[in-house]
Chains A and B, each alone.
Chain A
Amino acid sequence: MLERALKGSSRYWAWIGFLLVIIAAGGAVLVNQWVVGLEITDMSRDVSWGFYISQLTYLVGLAASGVMIVLPYYFHHYKPNKHMVIFGEFMAIAACVMCLLFVIVDIGQPQRMLNMIFHPTPNSILFWDMIVINGYLFLNILCGWVCLEHDRMHLSHPKWIKPFIIISIVWAFSIHTVTAFLYQGLPGRHYWLTAILAARFLASAFCAGPAILLLVLKVTEKVTTFQMPKKAVATLTKIIAYAMVVNMFFFMLEIFTAFYSNLPGHIHSIAYLFAGEHGHHELVPYMWTFIICAILCLIMLIPPKLRDNQKLLPWALGLLIIATWLDKGLGLLIGGFNPTPFETITPYWPTGKELMISAMIYAIGALIVTVLFKIATDVKQELGHSQALPCGCSTEDTDCECAGEEAPAADEAAEEAPAVEEAEATA
């Protein structure tokens, strides 16, 4: 199936070329980092992790996009998600790869990374994070590939894959939990030292991940014949809305605990982030942007009228992504390191080179998504699954009334358009 990624329009190749240019440019900076060391970053004695690890944290959430589609389909037999599953799984593959790459570029001696395996250390959460992310990557490659391949071959999914799918659903929760544990178990880091951190990670992952996926799929719809079923979109949006509500609720719990208890350690980080401390106000505008974006997106997502407005939806999702990124991808990490163990503030802001290397990894992720989505949409098109109808509906929209009954016959026949999806028993 991989060869399908080698055939595409000139627009497809232009996009691939664009990504490769970014990858090459970022790669050059990475070589520079490997030659001179991590001094090219703004990390320091006090802020020992920076943009790289914060992106790992955020992208683990993107991996959750898969489970929010897979779970309703497999656990609740929610049919409209049927042809969306593969995209969730493929997105998770890209997310896991990006996570792993962010670890590799972050470590000082990458050539020794196999020490993690040669000297396995179960008491280190980083060891478990490696296991869960690699495991989730493997499970998604396996389940995604096997299912898509069997679809393409016009066969039902093999029975042996089912346990792996179930495991992958459960496994998805572990990657957020373990990544949260990475932070959550450190003494003296008050901002992270909260039992609700793992729950916050799950909540933000379950809104941000599907939000990104939904946006990417909206783009996919524009450039391919793929069309999401309306019901699946509505359900996913609902999930995003609820998860964001929970996410913000958890955040307010943190605020309450810190300020009502009045424990200085718990207050300091929040105060630094939202008001500034010791003359350092670097993050204040960003954190308030987070709050404003969060409120705006909730306003756009909670009332059903607004939520189901497909014109508005991309904006709401965009705001949600910005909000969660600022919260989890920026504030969480810097706020955790500051105030430092010496109760001082050591500002951190990613350098241009850090951003270039990060851009490289994002480009690699985008490349993986592009290639995998290309393959998946190609196969869907060949099979006639979830294809766009002239009326704008998807072939999976069983209640499509826009064009009347003759819709799926004449108009789209000239194209390689699919016939009506036969009532296939679920595999």
Chain B
Amino acid sequence: MSMPSADELFKSIDYTPPATGWMETPVNFAPGNWCYPAKKEKVEYMQGYLPNAFGNPREWSPEDADWKLPPNWKEIVMNGFRERLDKFRSLKLFMDICVRCGACADKCHFFIGSGDPKNMPVLRAELMRSIYRGEFTLAGKILSKLTGSRVMEEDVLKEWFIYFYQCTECRRCSLFCPYGIDTAEVTMMARELLNLVGVNTNWIMEPASNCNRTGNHLGIQPHAFKDIVDFMVDDIEEITGVRVKAPLNEKGHEILFITPSGDVFADPGIYSFMGYLMLFHFLDLDYTMSTYASEGGNFGLFTNNETMKKLNAKMYSEANRLGCKWILGGECGHMWRVINQYMDTMNGDLQGPQMETPRNPITGTVFHNSAVTKMVHITEFTADLIKHGKLNLDPSRNDRYKVTFHDSCNTSRGMGLLEEPRYVIKNVCNSYFDMPEGTIREETFCCAGGSGLNTEEIMEIRLRGGLPRGNALRYVQEKNGVNMMACICAIDRATLPPLADYWAPGVEVCGVHELVGNALILPGEQERTMNLRQESLPGFEDEDDDWTPPNM
């Protein structure tokens, strides 16, 4: 499968809908349109823990005509649908009140980049709503097609699989909907139903099952985790001359630090991780990390409520075991959506008595806004330190970067964390430029790889969905010379580099705390000649570099 060039892809987008109605238009099941199905053993593993949430572990392929569904699959899906209508007012309401005004239609990055009408949020939800009307409403049963209703069939289920795994649950449509209908909510319900009959993707199931067993999505086992952290401590020493501490699984510390495991796995995430370690060392923070709760992210959010709850519960139970008073959370998007919207509701009762409202031990600031979750976002923490002048920063060390900031959908539309990271960036960098209005903050565009879609096999879909973000990025690249896009999301750090390479080649991606780590002057550090990526700092370029420093 060869990827078209950016120009070709752009030219291929056509917003004219097909001549056939959407119910009659067949779905393309060619490879590239779907993520690989979950491996049998992964489903079996999860089924062992959550028997009611997963069904029918098997080997199958979306390409085949026969998906090997259980014989009573229709009954399972319909019962599950009914059960969820009774459990979620949101679902019931969103099924009933959409007027199909179309305000959401061109707000979805997948629609903007593909022109596929089923990627209009309204139509994506209609895929489910048509079944709702046909199976659960009187008018729909009687008048059938006239009310846009249909009954559940295998083709419908297959269509669900394609399009509900072509939604990143970014909620941009919800922002524009006059009734606040949240397609993310609909997608979550659809995915729960699909999971009931064993229709799921491996890119989500494997991390979820890994996380249950090893404590993190990537399946890094505790000793390996320690090794990786030690490597990074070595790297930091090489760069700064300072050996930072990196406590793991230690009891009796005030703070438990949890970040997505993506940050210990690959660059550019690891540089952010190094940034965290340096910051904590600088502060001599009384903290620990955990290998058991070594994952901030939560692929359960992309699976079902049960898995989400199960994976999330580790955070509090580990804080209790280690005796931590509160939890500091690293840079992650959906991790924070879960923390902000679900964590306390789901698992608040797991908090031990030692936990208390977070208080910054350095500045004394009490984080009242996290009084029940007991979790503080690292940018909140760092911003507080900067405001109180507790950090010794040299922003010029980031001078090789002209930085912009990508708001991840989850922290912006599922939380509202907009200014804290910007404040941090502006204090550790000299050149900061926002991307155009309408593509940032609450109107930010998704990286098109969220909600478990950041897998290689659907790269074209991801790049199409990445068009709005990529185009905005390209604009600041050309206008302001931006060459670094900061973000506070581990999935962003994984998905944005290929997106940037494609739509705005030359722009790199980093976490905010990588920039903090660069600027932070550690006590007793050697003269810094390179940044965390081990690239030369201005003034310390190699001889073969033809750039001459002005003052020499």
* A interface residues, Cβ below 8 angstroms from B: 4, 154, 382, 384, 413-414, 416, 418-419, 422
Contact = CB atoms under 8 A, between A and B. Distances in A.
B482 to A, nearest CB: 10
Interface SS of A by simple majority: loop
A281 B246 CA distance: 92
Given A154-B475, A384-B479, A416 B433 contact: yes
B436 interface: yes
Contacts, number: 21
Nearest to B480: A419
Contact of B426 (A4, A154, A414, A418): A414
Given A382-B436, A382-B437, A414 B430 contact: yes
B481 interface: yes
Contacts of B479: 384, 418-419, 422
A405 to B, nearest CB: 13
A414 B432 CA distance: 7
Contacts of B426: 414
Contacts of B437: 4, 382
A282 B385 CA distance: 69
Interchain residue pairs A-B with the least CB separation, the first 7: A413-B431, A419-B480, A413-B430, A419-B479, A414-B430, A382-B437, A154-B475
A384 B481 CA distance: 13
A422 B480 CA distance: 11
A384 B479 CA distance: 9
A4 B475 CA distance: 21
A382 B481 CA distance: 15
B434 interface: yes
A125 B481 CA distance: 57
A377 to B, nearest CB: 14
Interface string B448-486: 000000000000000000000000000100011100000
A385 to B, nearest CB: 11
B481 A419 contact: yes
21 contacts: A4-B437, A154-B436, A154-B475, A382-B436, A382-B437, A384-B479, A413-B430, A413-B431, A414-B426, A414-B430, A414-B431, A414-B432, A416-B432, A416-B433, A416-B434, A418-B479, A418-B480, A419-B479, A419-B480, A419-B481, A422-B479
Contacts of A382: 436-437
Given A382-B437, A414-B431, 11 more contacts: A4-B437, A382-B436, A413-B431, A414-B426, A414-B430, A414-B432, A416-B433, A416-B434, A418-B479, A418-B480, A419-B481
Nearest to B478: A422
A419 B433 CA distance: 11
Nearest to B429: A414
B404 to A, nearest CB: 11
A154 B480 CA distance: 14
A155 to B, nearest CB: 12
Contacts of A414: 426, 430-432
Nearest to B402: A413
B484 to A, nearest CB: 14
A422 B478 CA distance: 10
A4 B437 CA distance: 10
A384 B480 CA distance: 10
A367 B436 CA distance: 27
Contacts of B430: 413-414
Interface string B88-129: 000000000000000000000000000000000000000000
Interface in B415-442: 426, 430-434, 436-437
A52 to B, nearest CB: 40
Interface string B289-323: 00000000000000000000000000000000000
A68 B426 CA distance: 42
A113 to B, nearest CB: 34
A419 B430 CA distance: 14
A328 to B, nearest CB: 41
B432 to A, nearest CB: 8
Contacts of A4: 437
Interface in B467-511: 475, 479-481
B503 to A, nearest CB: 15
A414 B426 CA distance: 8
